[in-house]
Amino acid sequence: MKRISLICCFILLLAPFAQPELTVAGDQPSDLTRPHFQVDRPAKNNNIQPDQPMHADLSTFADEAWLMPIRSSRLSPGQIAPRTLKMPGLQPFFLIGEDPQSLVWLRQRAAELQEMGAAGLAVEVADTEALARIRAAAPGITILPVNGNDIATRLQIEHYPILITATSLEQ
């Protein structure tokens, strides 16, 4: 029995040396796959001021057409009653649709929204052209297409356009 244990241990110790060395595609710098995996890194911008809100145009990173249409069954255009919230640390954001009421609201409040660094969530959008119209109403503000049902449930809201901050829900 002891002899079998020693033989097994000896075999386990020698096993790694018995296999030929594997070569993985991409190991060599001259590999044909290298151009496909190179990443162009943008230059660092060290001139960012921490007290200024930053907006990123995330729409340039992906084709959003496959997301369309965005429909949020728990939300519709309409009036809301303002109320207070206690959500410290929440960054301001707003919910918007492609309806005329939302576009007017967005145009009227665009400067204020940009100043506070609010991001937008388009919760009712038929296609990329409608999303482009929404974004054109508030240039410089990030607006992404998102289903708003979860937000509507969690914040107990039924209508948009709406601005949500750490301290309030308002229109």
In this prediction, residue 83 carries a pLDDT of 93
Residues 147 and 77 in one domain: yes
Residues 15 and 87 in one domain: no
Residues 10 and 92 in one domain: no
In a domain, residue 49? The reply is no
Residues 71 and 134 in one domain: yes
User: Which of 108, 102, 105, 162 shows the shortest CA–CA distance to 130?
Assistant: 102
* CATH code: domain of residue 137: 3.40.30
Residues 25 and 64 in one domain: no
User: Which of 142, 90, 140 shows the shortest CA–CA distance to 119?
Assistant: 142
Q: How do residues 31-70 score in pLDDT, each as one tens digit?
A: 555 555 455 555 555 555 555 555 555 445 457 777 888 8
Residues 88 and 130 in one domain: yes
Q: Quote the CA–CA distance of 162 and 97 in Å, as a whole number.
A: 10
Residues 32 and 62 in one domain: no
> If phi over 0 gives left and psi between -120 and 50 gives alpha, with beta otherwise, what is residue 42?
beta
Strand runs (DSSP E) across 19-149, as ranges? 76-77, 83-84, 93-97, 119-124, 143-145
In a domain, residue 50? The reply is no
Structural domain boundaries, residue 99: 58-170
User: Which of 86, 56, 55, 57 shows the shortest CA–CA distance to 165?
Assistant: 86
Classified as helix, coil or strand, 83 is strand
Q: How do residues 91-142 score in pLDDT, each as one tens digit?
A: 999 999 999 999 999 999 999 999 999 999 999 999 999 999 999 999 999 9
Residues 88 and 148 in one domain: yes
